[in-house]
Chain A
């Protein structure tokens, strides 16, 4: 016998189910009067610094159908490349930009939309700069554990070319699954859950 390290096990994930919108965006699904607004529905205000962009897209299943009951959250640095978080030790982020957004996919066409700013570059663990990117987290009925991925920008070819995460993707034809389509200021990021165009998902 040796000393017990005393670690606990992480609580197991369970699917968000078909009614995740009741819990996380109640106003969106017609439950009004409990919260004034849905959390994460607005990311920028008049004083937020940086280039305004729109990020839109769909979450598409293995039969090519967009999910109309999914929920997408994003997390990103501000325009200067600083995160609004106590774990950010390089400086103070823009006080008018929290960097987190939440959007349900629409019941009509499965589209999500975020109005945000283009993030600045942040360093990888070894100090090299990563290309500008937005972290995505996707949950829905049928997804047993939330899916993490990243969106990169199509107009940052040079930065993408030296990005340490993109460089880790063995099958190079899959790199493009993490690069949005469109052009400034509207970027389109479709997430494919499976199939030939399956998005690279991250175990982070």
Chain B
């Protein structure tokens, strides 16, 4: 297990988060952030045991169709409508090491850009065979994969004519609660990425490009599904070179 560093438990604190790489809390182009953004400075804290530890999820909790959004809400013998795709990749940390046993959860709109939610008001139709959520857990090399349909773009109330590019939401756990991350994956070649106010909350173009999954021709399944590759990087952990602290701190 890479829960351990050369067999030792991972007890190092995480690298400080590069806050200039992430979107700032207050980003007025995304209007909802205005009243939901903390305005005072965050209190910085080198990770204690409350942050370097985190919950563990076992593969046994997964159902057979948890990573197949084409079928996990569909009636028997039917499947969701849309462009069939496989999304796969690795969960790594900032040191490039695979993060094994990471719970990855994902949710998305259907092929027409409609979510299955009572607050959703877009006029595009629901797909009776598409629920819109799935999950998986990375293997010992940090790999994950799932099957779904490509979500559609959709309009949303922000500016008068703002649209979201096609995207899949991701929630990821690492080995420490301080690694907790939610993000969104976009699709290679989509011109709408660069018009989106939510994408635009990210100040650095390179950070945006890191959210764009590449069409992975090598892993495309002939006559079945195209593949997109999306690697996710969680915070790295400092090495514990010398254990000069009391046991377990």
Establish whether residues A22 and B117, one from each chain, have CB atoms under 8 Å apart when the complex forms. Answer: yes
Q: List 14 A-B contacts (CB under 8 A).
A: A9-B207, A14-B211, A23-B133, A35-B135, A87-B9, A87-B175, A89-B247, A100-B54, A126-B245, A142-B33, A142-B37, A193-B37, A198-B40, A200-B40
CB neighbours (8 Å) of B55 from chain A are 75, 84-85, 98-100
User: How far is B133's CA from A21's CA once the two chains are assembled, in angstroms?
Assistant: 10
A84 to B247, CA, bound (A): 17
Q: Write out the residue numbers on chain A whose beta carbons fall within 8 Å of the beta carbon of B65.
A: 34
Binding site for B on A (CB under 8 A): 6-24, 26, 29-31, 33-36, 39, 61-63, 67, 69, 73, 75-77, 83-90, 98-100, 122-127, 130, 133, 135, 137, 139-148, 150, 165, 168-169, 174, 193-194, 198-204
- Give me the interface of B with A, judged by CB distance under 8 Å: 1, 3-4, 9-11, 13-14, 16-19, 21-25, 27, 30, 32-40, 42-57, 61, 63, 65-66, 72-73, 92-96, 105-107, 115-120, 131-135, 169, 171, 175-178, 180-184, 198-199, 201-202, 204, 206-208, 210-211, 232-236, 245-249
Q: With contacts A10-B233, A90-B248 known, is A143 near B25, CB below 8 A?
A: yes
Q: Is the CB of B35 within 8 A of A12?
A: no
5 cross-chain pairs, A with B, having the tightest CB-CB distances, nearest first: A23-B107, A142-B32, A85-B53, A142-B36, A100-B55
Besides A31-B131, A87-B11, A143-B25, 6 other CB < 8 A contacts?
A10-B234, A11-B210, A11-B234, A33-B73, A148-B51, A194-B37
> How long is the Cα–Cα vector from A117 to B202 in the complex, in angstroms?
39
Report whether A88 and B49 are in contact in the complex, using a CB–CB cutoff of 8 Å. yes
Q: Which residues of A contact B35 (CB under 8 A)?
A: 61-63, 142, 193-194
Chain B residues contacting A140 (CB-CB under 8 Å) are: 36
Whether the Cβ atoms of B117 and A77 lie closer than 8 Å is: no
Is A148 a contact of B36 with CB atoms below 8 Å?
no
Bound Cα distance from A12 to B176, whole angstroms: 17
Asked if residues A20 and B169 are in contact (CB atoms below 8 Å), the reply is yes
Contact across chains for A123 and B246 when beta carbons are under 8 A apart:
yes
Asked if A10 and B94 make an inter-chain contact with CB atoms under 8 angstroms apart, the answer reads yes
Once bound together, how far apart are the Cα atoms of A199 and B43, in whole Å? 11
A135 touches B50 (CB 8 A): yes
State A22–B236 Cα separation when bound (angstroms): 29
Cβ of B211 and Cβ of A12 under 8 Å apart? yes
- Once bound together, how far apart are the Cα atoms of A22 and B206, in whole Å? 29
Q: Which of B33, B175, B201, B235 contacts A10 (CB 8 A)?
A: B235
Contact of B33 among A8, A88, A127, A143 (CB under 8 A): A143
Query: In angstroms, how far is the closest chain A Cβ from the Cβ of B61?
Result: 8
CB atoms of A141 and B248 under 8 A apart: no
Chain A residues in 8 Å Cβ range of B106: 23
Contact B120 A13 (CB under 8 A): no
Are B198 and A34 neighbours in the complex by a CB distance under 8 Å? no
Please, which residues of chain A bring their CB within 8 A of the CB of B46? 125
